[in-house]
Amino acid sequence: MDDVSAHFNPMAPDQLANPYPLYERLRRERPVFYSPTFDLWVVTRYADISEVERDTAHFSSVGSLDARAEPHPEVRAVLAQGYSQFLSLVQSDLPDHTRVRAVFGKALSAQRIAAMEPTIRATADALIDGFIRDGKADLIQQFAYALPGFIICDLLGVPRSDMEQLKRWSDDKTALMSATAPIEQLVQCAHGFIAMERYFREKLHERRSHPREDLLTLLVPQSLGGTAPLSEQEAVCNAMDLFAAGHETTTGLIGNGMWLLLNAPEQLEAVREDPSLLPNALEEMLRVESPIRGFFRTVTADTPLSGVTLPKGGRAFILYASGNRDETQFAEPDRFDIRRTDAKKHLAFGKGIHFCVGAPLAKLEGRIAFEQLLRRLPGLRLRIDEAPVHRPYFMLRGFEHLPIAWNVPA
Ligand code: HEM
């Protein structure tokens, strides 16, 4: 029989377009499998993904996303100019995780996030003002990356005018992690990575002498005169990760969610007429089209899972995008239904100790984005003259371009 696991390649054009039929077969025939192409143990069922997230002793997050995982010597030579290891919250294990997470709890507290609502709405409106008269736009390039990009700049306390540069560096970091680009390009990305490290190191040093009401100031280590129980290296790496985590995932939520609504016009109309449906609609968007397809772990000891033994030292890839369509958890899992009562139990924000610390911000940005777009752009539709284009990333799932059109208001 054809081994379905041999087809796994998130960047293949058919899987960029629609990976879900393959995931359905994988859950049935090879729920946990080794991919020699990616040197990964891929975990596809909801229950197994939850188990990996829970069992932090056997599945370590340390170094799991390190852009430096066995890089090419030329790439390594550039990265050697910076820190020897990438120490961020998402890549830490207990007990370090508890220490670092406490800093984030303060920095991204519900109160702090709720206070940003007027700024987020004004930013969304200003972006819409920029294209509303055109009757058409690329939702990703003209709205969905700028909104969370500007807001994470505000939170960190860096100028919005630096957003484009930070985004380029952050894209370099993402490309390094995927490591699928040609070597010359990866070397360029490594330079971008180092420049981003330097940028945040300098900003943290500025905050040491000139503290402000911002997230970077909260990250300044005690050793530098701040209050955070972090090292300088941890503070820099976490600032870099926050910029990346704080924008590109939410870009994915807005783009993927809009695409789902535009393909279900009656549900789009329902949300437009009754925005109180939005919070649950956002959960369902995250379930059906998860912006982070999956995340990595390192196996610390031989560990059985669904009849397969994952070997010590192996790397696991927990495929949220598959778990979120697991038929043992969700009735008619491929159906997008903004009124689904159990949408919220999706895995798109992870589970357990690493559950996304930015989830309240992502949901607030998502809600405001859809409220303003649906309210201000009547007759919203996909353009038929230009097709949407997916980003070719291993870990992330979302659009690079999403051409939309609407009726220009009188
Ligand atoms: C729709 C948008 C978002 C999605 C889908 C998402 C998804 C995730 C997922 C799946 C994890 C868990 C990773 C794991 O288990 O190893 C995570 C963790 C994290 N996210 Fe998000 N995220 C989003 C938005 C944000 C935002 C806006 C921020 C920051 C402002 C953020 C910051 C973080 C951080 C710092 C962690 C690490 C938490 C920890 O390890 O304790 N995320 N996110």
Left if phi > 0, otherwise alpha if psi is -120 to 50, otherwise beta: which for 313? Answer: left
Q: Are 52 and 305 in contact (CB under 8 A)?
A: yes
Give the pLDDT band of residue 148 (cuts 50, 70, 90).
very high
Q: 383 pLDDT exceeds 60? A: yes
How far is residue 170's CA from residue 389's CA, in Å, rounded to a whole number?
Answer: 20
pLDDT at 393: 84
144 in contact with ligand 1, CB cutoff 6 A: no
pLDDT at 259: 98
Tokens representing 305 are 């899972």
Length of the chain: 410
**Residue in 296, 215, 295, 288 with CA at minimum distance from that of residue 252:** 288
Chain segment 337-366, per-residue pLDDT in tens: 999 999 999 999 999 999 999 999 999 999
pLDDT at 116: 95
277's CB contacts (< 8 A; 6+ apart) are: 270, 271, 338, 339
Q: Which atom of ligand 1 is nearest to the CA of 352?
A: 15
CA 1 to ligand 1 centroid distance, Å: 39
Q: Are 148 and 364 in contact (CB under 8 A)?
A: no
H-assigned helices in 181-231: 183-209, 215-219
166 in contact with ligand 1, CB cutoff 6 A: no
H-assigned helices in 80-138: 96-107, 110-114, 117-129
256 in contact with ligand 1, CB cutoff 6 A: no
pLDDT at 394: 87
How far is residue 99's CA from residue 334's CA, in Å, rounded to a whole number?
Answer: 39
147 in contact with ligand 1, CB cutoff 6 A: no
pLDDT at 162: 98
How far is residue 319's CA from residue 340's CA, in Å, rounded to a whole number?
Answer: 22
- Residue 28 vs residues 25, 228, 282: alpha-carbon distances, Å: 5, 47, 28
Count CA atoms closer than 13 A to 402's CA, side-chain side: 26
Give the pLDDT band of residue 84 (cuts 50, 70, 90).
confident
Ligand 1, atom 1: closest residue by C-alpha: 250
User: Residues of 58-75 as b/e, b for ≥16 C-beta within 10 angstroms?
Assistant: bbbbbbbbbbbbebeeeb
Tokens representing 61 are 């997050």
Mean pLDDT taken over the chain: 94
- The arrangement of strands across the sheet holding 59-60 comes to 32-35, 40-43, 315-318, 295-299, 59-60
pLDDT at 68: 43
Chain segment 268-288, per-residue pLDDT in tens: 999 999 999 999 999 999 999
Top-tier CATH class for 4-405: mainly alpha
Residue that has been written with the tokens 């669904």 in this structure: 306
Distance of alpha carbon 46 from the chain centroid: 19
Ligand 1, atom 43: closest residue by C-alpha: 356
* Secondary structure element (H or E) that encloses residue 361, with its range: helix 359-376
CB atoms within 10 A of CB 358: 20
CB atoms within 10 A of CB 246: 23
How far is residue 318's CA from residue 397's CA, in Å, rounded to a whole number?
Answer: 14
CA 157 to ligand 1 centroid distance, Å: 19
pLDDT at 67: 43
pLDDT > 90: percent of the chain: 84
Q: 69 pLDDT exceeds 80? A: no
- Partner residues linked to 60 by β-bridges: 298
Give the pLDDT band of residue 332 (cuts 50, 70, 90).
very high
CA 74 to ligand 1 centroid distance, Å: 31
